[in-house]
Each structure stands twice: as structure tokens, then as C-alpha cells.
Amino acid sequence: MARRTVTSVEIDGRALQLSNLDKVLWPEDGYTKGDLIEYYRAVAGYLLPYLQGRPLTLQRFPDGVQGPSFFEKDAPRATPDWVRTLLVPAEYGRRGEVCFIMCDDEPTLVFVANLASIVLHVWTSREPELDHPDVMLFDLDAGERCSVARLGRVAVCFYEVLDEIGLRPLVKSTGGAGLHVMVPLEPRYSYDTIKAFAELIARRVHVTMPGDTTLQRATAKRPDDLVYLDYVQVGRGKTLVAPYSVRARTAAPVSMPLGWEEVRGMTRRRGKDTQKENARYTMTNVPKLLAQGTGIWSAGAQRPQRLETAFRKAQRAWQETQG
């Protein structure tokens, strides 16, 4: 049995015991748990604003990315008392409460990374408005044979449809094969309202690009060369991969904020592998890119938006299409 090694560190006045920093989590690349912690410390200033106030679900890989993994909502028993937690009623009719970790600071971020929490999933709402999302999410899920150009064209169509009704979306890579289109919101609308609006927009895009997109939810029936427009990831307790989160894939890709010019550039690519396209941003190069100003959404782009006028415009546009 391998000997367990422990390293004591202090971060912002908090004492942490970091274990087995030399444990390899990415066998093909040789990246260790220490590398994961170093990455999250390097990007903490960029990542934490997207984690703060949001219930956090950890995706842990104790035996590395090629081993079994599990999702963990409840804070582990060994969680230090200085880590802030939040009790939230369990979803889907289950009794009891879930004790979520609230990752508000760098010591907490390092604590969860030390648990081999490679992927960080967060709610689309944050306290004190957990019933009112501040993000409307569209998950553009590229099929295995979907080209980079097709994925880019569909994302640009979302931009154009949203822009037409006065909304300014953001976009990021998922770190996998797809893209996330996100609209920052004022936290004043219910999840049901946001879901209805997201469906309206997704159907508008599908009508505009029927040969490139699908709304088929059943994976087995879904054409693998199209982009699935997943608008149902809107609901209390549903999550998205946080910007700058690492993914448990070869080369340790990162879910990276993108500029729309970069996405428009994708429409001219000849590549057939959207996962390889997104893997240009990794745990090893993202800190340097951020230091150079690449992959950072501007404060203006993240301005919370209201939906009343946009909703009326979208309804008219959809009715005209049907008519």
C-alpha cells in the first residue's frame, strides 16, 4: 500500500492539510493532484466570482480520470468548520436537506481540489435569490460527427436571435465537445419563466437551422452529426460546469470563456472534432492566457439583463414563423 503523504499549507490564514500531491490524476499526461491544486490557485481570482454564493456540486475522481468518479452534493464529513455550507431542501420530492459547500474563497477552493474534485458544477442561481436564476443557459451539445464549423454556425445563430430581441449573450467552451451560450439576468424571474423563454429561443434557432440542429432528447434517436439544443438544463438544483473548471479528459481541458469573434472564426474551420477544438484551452496554458487578457469576459458583457421587452419580441417572432 502506497504511503500517504501530507503537506501543511496556510492560505489566507486558513490551515490546510493537502494529501498525496504527487498522485497522478491524468495518467496519459502525467498531471498530478498537485498540478490541479496549483491550477485552481492560479485562476482563483477569475474563477471565484462565478462560484461565490452558488451551491457547489463536486465531481470527484479519487483514482484519476480513468478511474470511477462520483458526484457529491453534501459536504464531506471531514470538511473544516471554516468552510461555509448552506442547507438546501432536497429536490425532486426527496426528504431532508442537502448541505452544499459554498466556495467563496481560495482556501475553500483548495480544500475541494484536494478532494480530487476535478470538475466544479454550480447552480444557475445564487443566494439570496436561489429561486431566481441569474443565468439563462443554452447547452449546445455537438454530436460525435458534428463539425467545428457547424457548431460555430449554430452558436452564432443563437447570438443573432438573442441580439435581434435586445439580449447580449456570452459564450464559453464546455471543455468537452460543445458550447454554452449564456445570458446574464437580473435575478427576478422564476425558473419556470426562464425555462419557457429558453424553449422559445431554442425552437426559433431550430426553425432557422433545421438541417444543423435537433431538439431530440433521446440520445439513441439523435443524429450524431447535428447540434442538440438542450434548453432543459434550466431548473432549481440543475447545474452547469463553471467557467475555468477543469474537465476530466485527456490533456485536462478547461471550460473557457470565449469571444464571439473567436466563435465566428470556428464557422470557417475545417476540423471535424469539436472536442479537439475545445481542448485548445487546458490546465497548463489557461493561467498564462488569462494573465495576457485572453478568455476574460468584460464587466459590460456580464451586465445583468431584463426580459420583459425581449420576451414580447421573441413571442412575436415565433408567431410570425408559425404563421
Provide DSSP, 143-178: -TT--HHHHHHHHHHHHHHHHHTT---EEEE-SSS-
Asked if residue 205 and residue 62 are part of one domain, the reply reads no
Asked if residue 293 and residue 192 are part of one domain, the reply reads yes
- Does the pLDDT value for residue 189 go beyond 80? yes
> Is residue 79 a part of any domain in this protein?
yes
Q: Tell the burial category of 196 from Cβ atoms under 10 Å away from its Cβ (0-12, 13-18, 19+).
A: middle
Residue pLDDT, tens place only, 37-75: 999 999 999 999 999 999 999 999 999 999 999 999 999
Mention every residue, 6+ apart, whose C-beta is less than 8 A from residue 2: 20
* Lowest-confidence segment of 101-105, 128-132, 314-318 by average pLDDT: 314-318
Mean pLDDT of 279-299: 96
- Does the pLDDT value for residue 2 go beyond 60? no
Q: What is the mean pLDDT of the chain?
A: 94
> Is residue 222 a part of any domain in this protein?
yes
Q: What is the pLDDT of residue 3?
A: 65
| Higher per-residue confidence, 317 vs 92 | 317
Asked if residue 118 and residue 30 are part of one domain, the reply reads yes
Asked if residue 157 and residue 91 are part of one domain, the reply reads no
> Is residue 130 a part of any domain in this protein?
no
CA atoms within 13 A on the CB side of 257: 22
Asked if residue 186 and residue 83 are part of one domain, the reply reads no
- Does the pLDDT value for residue 322 go beyond 80? no
Split at pLDDT 50, 70, 90, the class of 311 is: confident
Q: Kindly report the CATH number assigned to the domain that includes residue 85.
A: 3.90.920.10
Q: Note the pTM of the prediction, 2 decimals.
A: 0.94
Whether 212 and 278 have beta carbons less than 8 Å apart is answered as no
Q: Which of 60, 89, 123 is the endpoint of a domain?
A: 123
Asked if residue 80 and residue 206 are part of one domain, the reply reads no
Q: What is the pLDDT of residue 91?
A: 73
Asked if residue 154 and residue 274 are part of one domain, the reply reads yes
| DSSP-assigned states of every residue in 217-251 | --GGGS-TTSEEEE----STT-EEEPTT-B-SSTT
How many other C-beta atoms can be found within 10 angstroms of the C-beta atom of residue 34?
18
Q: Which of 91, 123, 155 is the endpoint of a domain?
A: 123
The residue range of the domain holding 284 is: 135-322
Asked if residue 208 and residue 83 are part of one domain, the reply reads no
> Is residue 85 a part of any domain in this protein?
yes
Whether 179 and 140 have beta carbons less than 8 Å apart is answered as yes
- Does the pLDDT value for residue 8 go beyond 90? yes
- Does the pLDDT value for residue 207 go beyond 60? yes
CA 151 to the chain's CA centroid: 17
Q: Using the structure block, give the residue that is written with the C-alpha cell 436564476.
A: 133
Asked if residue 308 and residue 214 are part of one domain, the reply reads yes
Q: What is the pLDDT of residue 314?
A: 80
Whether 118 and 61 have beta carbons less than 8 Å apart is answered as yes
> Is residue 129 a part of any domain in this protein?
no
Mean pLDDT of 217-241: 93
Q: What count of residues does the chain have?
A: 323
Q: What is the pLDDT of residue 76?
A: 95
Mention every residue, 6+ apart, whose C-beta is less than 8 A from residue 35: 25, 283
Asked if residue 161 and residue 195 are part of one domain, the reply reads yes
**Whole-angstrom Cα distance, residue 230 to residue 218?**
11
Q: Using the structure block, give the residue that is written with the C-alpha cell 496519459.
A: 28
Report the domain count for the chain: 2
**Dihedral, 78, 80, 83, 86 alpha carbons, nearest 10:** 50
- Does the pLDDT value for residue 182 go beyond 90? yes
Split at pLDDT 50, 70, 90, the class of 92 is: low
> Is residue 288 a part of any domain in this protein?
yes
Asked if residue 148 and residue 74 are part of one domain, the reply reads no
